[in-house]
A = this chain, B = another copy of it.
Amino acid sequence: MSKETKPTLHDVGALAGVAARTVSRVVNGETGVSVKTREKVDKAIEALKFRPNLAARALRSDRSFLVAILNNNPSPHYVADVVRGVSRVCRETGNFLTLEEFTPADNNIAESIAELVDSIRLAGAILIPPLTDDAAILDLLEAHEIPMVRMSPASDAARTDAVFARDGDGVRQLVNHLYQLGHRRFAIVGGPSSHRSSRIRMAAFTGALTALGISPATVIIEQGDYTYDSGAEATRRILSLPHKMRPSIICAANDEMAAGVISVLGASGIAVPGEIAVTGFDDSEIARLIWPPLTTIRQSIVEQAEAAARLLLDRSSVKDGPRRIEQEVELVIRKSTSRDI
């Protein structure tokens, strides 16, 4: 049984009593096949467990059914969620997923991508930050006319289809919640200004605080780069300030930096949240795993990725210009801002 050669369109056609071309039409859901014929063919496909040969399809029709995720983002959680979302959509739609993985330091990214797109006509590409903003890569994909969707691009947002989270909304919810808890002395650990998300989050923080009557001038602002170490470093600077300037809450622009914040506070014998409360952003796995667990903003990367993949594979509305999807976020309250500790 495993010895026999794989069934082809011709085999199916022979069994169903039609030409291979007709089977092809059925397989591709093309119009112009009578219901009766379609049923016969479907039955034969079922009987032979026929599956179209990917290579032959790709060669003949110049459509590869391969969706590429292009990534140089070092955060495993983020990437895993993107893969999960895209993977699900690919399976639904009969596509396959290929992953082009780079280190942040890699300087041959364009070269590797060129190799891929020159070798086969991709069904499309999904770009993850910070690679979303590499002009050379965008140029390359455009030159090859590869459909692409970018996730949270920082620059040139209208250049391609894109998916975003409503980061600003999340920050506003968070700040309002903290204000209601009684916090008035805020410290913010921002992310790298090269990331769109950092800039948006920071602007939303100061905006929301101002709206509550808290002058940005009284807010301690430190700069990080989204890494754990930078969060720890920023916290040391905050703790070195005169004691009366010490904040009651430190808001980090992502969870990883918040973990760094908490570790330094812990090492300094400062109770969290008793003396200083802490918040993160993203609701990544770590938010749940550290102690105390982090109050944070959840953005479902899986859903964003699914939306991106669907956008990518649905070419029907492309001609109307770049499309844009915005994803809701959600405030997740955990112990790191609890009042009763």
A residues at B contact (CB < 8 Å): 2, 6, 49, 51-59, 64, 66, 76-77, 79-81, 83-84, 87, 91, 96-101, 103, 112, 115-116, 118-120, 143-144, 228, 256, 259-260, 262-263, 266-267, 285-286, 288-293
Contacts and interface: CB of A to CB of B under 8 A. Distances in A.
B55 A263 contact: no
A101 B59 CA distance: 26
Instruction: List the 10 shortest-distance A-B pairs measured between CB atoms, nearest first.
Output: A55-B58, A76-B80, A263-B291, A55-B59, A76-B76, A87-B101, A51-B118, A266-B291, A54-B120, A2-B143
A32 to B, nearest CB: 25
Contacts of A58: 54-55, 58
B91 A112 contact: yes
Contact of A285 (B76, B120, B144, B293): B76
Given A79-B76, A291-B262, A6 B97 contact: no
A56 B144 CA distance: 19
Copies in the complex: 2
A158 to B, nearest CB: 22
Contact of A289 (B56, B115, B259, B292): B259
A94 to B, nearest CB: 8
B98 A97 contact: yes
Of A77, A87, A119, A259, most buried by chain B (CB within 10 Å of CB) is A119
Contact of A80 (B79, B119, B256): B79
Nearest to A144: B2
B289 A49 contact: no
A77 to B, nearest CB: 5
A53 B121 CA distance: 9
20 contacts: A2-B143, A52-B119, A53-B120, A55-B55, A55-B56, A55-B58, A56-B59, A58-B58, A76-B81, A76-B285, A87-B101, A99-B99, A228-B288, A228-B289, A259-B289, A259-B290, A263-B289, A267-B292, A286-B289, A289-B289
